[in-house]
Structure 1
Amino acid sequence: MTAPLVIVGMSGGVDSSVAAWLLLQQGYEVQGLFMSNWDEDEDGYCTAAEDYQDARHVCEQLKIPLHKVSFAGEYRERVFSYFLEEYRHGRTPNPDVLCNREIKFGVCYDYARRLGAEWVATGHYARVEHDPSQSRAKLLRGLDPNKDQSYFLHAMPGEALAHTLFPIGDLQKSEVRRLAREQTLPVFDKKDSTGICFIGERPFAQFLETYLPAQPGQIETLEGRRVGEHRGLMYYTLGQRQGLGIGGRNDANEAPWYVADKDLARNVLIVVQGHDHPAMLRGEAWASQLAWVAGSAPAPRFDCTAKVRYRQPDQPCSVEVLADGGVHVRFHQPQRAVTPGQYVVFYVGEVCLGGGVVDRTA
């Protein structure tokens, strides 16, 4: 009997490398697929060329083929254009969620299936529970609470999730490193990538200003008192402390300043003093562009927990599904710096229900 073919998304990092090795141990026929999503790197910040060589060396050691494909056009159209549009409107997007939905488990998934893959796999820290009697699967948190990536995967298309494997989802990061070292994989001590893939390690403001013209304006307190100037609302996010340029002032105490709001109509950044200032807290949020892992919400109204940012501890809340398909979320405790453009993702225990984009708060 022929072993099922699984194509593993190889990033050149330790997680996908160990995922490929584990699948070989489990008896699958394994092939690697390296995708590039960004074709502009005049400043040398992109590591795609180096990552491809690392992926190639791992696949050579594992004796598996490696395919290489570029989805730069699709990425620019489906992810990057949305990223810029959100910043243009003063919001703070999370392109990783869209990249997973549109690229890794969208066009890349389709490409792998055309290559004959029965399964696709990645090095994400998440788990999937397959039900052979149904076309959909359940998305579960990864067992390592410090690395769980279900937040970024909640919008995966249902068909793709049903044919996806997350081989390292049951492991701690330390175990993944140990396995890579024991198997002498050449990337066993490679540093984890951070930040947004197309920005790399370059300064964020430097990157953004090459695509969007900055519109400087005033920084004001809640009372309307001017305390400084901002470089452009797109460079700031709610809850931000660093980079405000508000030094010690004779008319204020010494507590640090934080971004509390953006007045888009007046191009004004509103700041307050103190990490837990009441103006930073929100008890309600409205979200749209909902993606439910099961295909629909569990009920018109339900209780669950939610995250409004990656790594945030789960927050109890009540959710009401609205007539337009969006949701109204009421947090049991006020939440700090709930940010329009970011995702609110819902959970019941280990199961990820889905999520949507925060539009407004109260």
Structure 2
Amino acid sequence: MDTPNTTAAPAETIAVAMSGGVDSSAVAAMLAAQGHRIVGLTLQLWNQRRLAGREGMPESVQGRCCSIDDVYDARRVAEQIGIPYYLVNAQERFEDEVVRPFVDEYLAGRTPIPCTLCNNHLKFDQLLITARGIGADKIATGHYARNRFDAERGRWVMSRPADKSKDQTYFLFGLTQDQLAHTLFPLGEMEKPAVRAMAADQGLELAQKPDSQEICFIPGGSYSQFLSAYLDEQGREMPASAGELVSTSGEVLGQHEGIHAFTVGQRKGLGISAPNPLYVLKIHPDSHRVEVGEDEQLYSRTLHANRLNWVSLAEPTEPIRVTIKIRHRHEPAAATLRVTGPDTVEATFDEPQRAITPGQSAVFYQGDEVTGGGWIF
């Protein structure tokens, strides 16, 4: 019989990851109201004022997840519902395992996803380490996902949530079986409006707090500004990667100042004119060439991924049918997936997909279940 991991057994000690947003706050209040022993944990990941005003970075740090205001909100909710609360300093790990890899990937002409790096390599690992250190049986988060144990397969299976508009499984594909076994997703069966209503019923002042939209260490969403500011702070020079903008036939159309300023699918900022709109098709790190072309040339049927994690099943020995998300807001597209070597797969889509981007995640699904995922190369 399958065992859902959305509710806890009676009288468990549960560490709730509190981000200061309405979702995690509602989870903490819900589990406390159910009679569980709750401890609130917030990971301090980044000094929000660290690069403020440097190299064009804004002074304001409003509207980002994990900001100092979010920490204050999380602490206030913990006090309101009467649970212990701890702020865990994980800034050094975050810089080593998220920020520096992000910088290196971007400078190499790829487009990484910091939130996925954070979840896969740091957040859940650190939360479980801290939870076990304080005697908690499980952790719970405000992510919209579902989690259950399938006895027949002998595996924990993560699935898309009831509220598909809030689906966060794309960012969670790297969770291990041990992590899934000790994690609760209490909001997996709920719609976002119901979560806000529940928070309001619990008397939480932040029930209508807007969702955070920006990456915690990149205000305004300007990756290139962040790269300049971070390298300047570190006393590092921006690597020389100026080169040529070229057509698919190799014709030189213009010059650029560095491959870090481009991502596949980009239209703006190319600095060249043409009869039809041009988009970045490929970035060639070795030659520093940026290949551009028309929108129809962005489409491809083939994807390669590595650094894989298998969730609902072990590594397949035969080709399997899946749907694949290549971006968070991408509608999963039908494909055939086959293992091509140690820790690598190739996917062939039924229909061409737009802007398959190296450095991004590819997450594989069968129905709502997360089969696994990897990183596009």
Q: Deviations over 1:232-268 (max 9, x none)?
A: 212211111233233xx4xx32x32211111323212
Deviation at 1:323, TM superposition (A): 3.0
1:263 alignment partner, one of 284, 289, 296: 284
Deviation at 1:294, TM superposition (A): 4.3
Map residues 68-79 of structure 1 onto 2, 5 A cutoff: 68-79=87-98
- Given the alignment of the two structures, is residue 314 of structure 1 paired with residue 313 of structure 2, yes or no? no
1:56 alignment partner, one of 50, 75, 83: 75
Map residues 153-164 of structure 1 onto 2, 5 A cutoff: 153-164=172-183
Deviation at 1:205, TM superposition (A): 1.6
Contact kept? 1:158, 1:295, Cα under 8 Å: no
Aligned positions, number: 351
Which structure has more relative contact order (CA 8 Å, sep 6+)? It is 2
Q: In structure 2, how many angstroms separate the alpha carbons of the residues matched to 1:304 and 1:209? A: 40
TM-score, normalization: structure 1? Answer: 0.90
- Given the alignment of the two structures, is residue 325 of structure 1 paired with residue 343 of structure 2, yes or no? yes
Q: Deviations over 1:111-134 (max 9, x none)?
A: 111111111011101111135798
Cα distance, 1:216–1:289 mapped onto 2, change above 3 Å: same
Q: Which runs of 5+ in 2 are unaligned?
A: 1-8, 53-58, 232-236
Q: Secondary structure at the match of 1:322?
A: strand
Cα distance, 1:202–1:306 mapped onto 2, change above 3 Å: closer
Q: In structure 2, how many angstroms separate the alpha carbons of the residues matched to 1:242 and 1:192? A: 27
1:178 alignment partner, one of 197, 202, 218: 197
TM-score, normalization: structure 2? Answer: 0.87
Amino acid at match of 1:297: E
Q: Secondary structure at the match of 2:281?
A: strand
Cα distance, 1:176–1:228 mapped onto 2, change above 3 Å: farther
Cα distance, 1:221–1:313 mapped onto 2, change above 3 Å: same
317-326 or 293-302, larger mean C-alpha shift: 293-302
- Given the alignment of the two structures, is residue 81 of structure 1 paired with residue 100 of structure 2, yes or no? yes
- Residue 120 of structure 2: aligned partner: 101
Map residues 1-362 of structure 1 onto 2, 5 A cutoff: 3-39=11-47, 41-43=50-52, 44=59, 45=61, 48-131=67-150, 136-201=155-220, 203-210=222-229, 211=231, 213=238, 215-246=241-272, 249=273, 252-253=274-275, 255-273=276-294, 275=295, 277=296, 279-294=297-312, 296-359=314-377
Contact kept? 1:54, 1:186, Cα under 8 Å: no
Amino acid at match of 2:301: G
The runs of at least 4 consecutive aligned structure 1 residues that moved more than 6 Å come to: 132-135
Q: What percent of counterpart residues are identical?
A: 37
Cα distance, 1:320–1:131 mapped onto 2, change above 3 Å: closer
Q: Secondary structure at the match of 2:165?
A: coil
Q: Secondary structure at the match of 1:171?
A: coil
Cα distance, 1:146–1:264 mapped onto 2, change above 3 Å: same
Q: Secondary structure at the match of 1:245?
A: coil
Quote the RMSD (CA, aligned, Å).
2.2
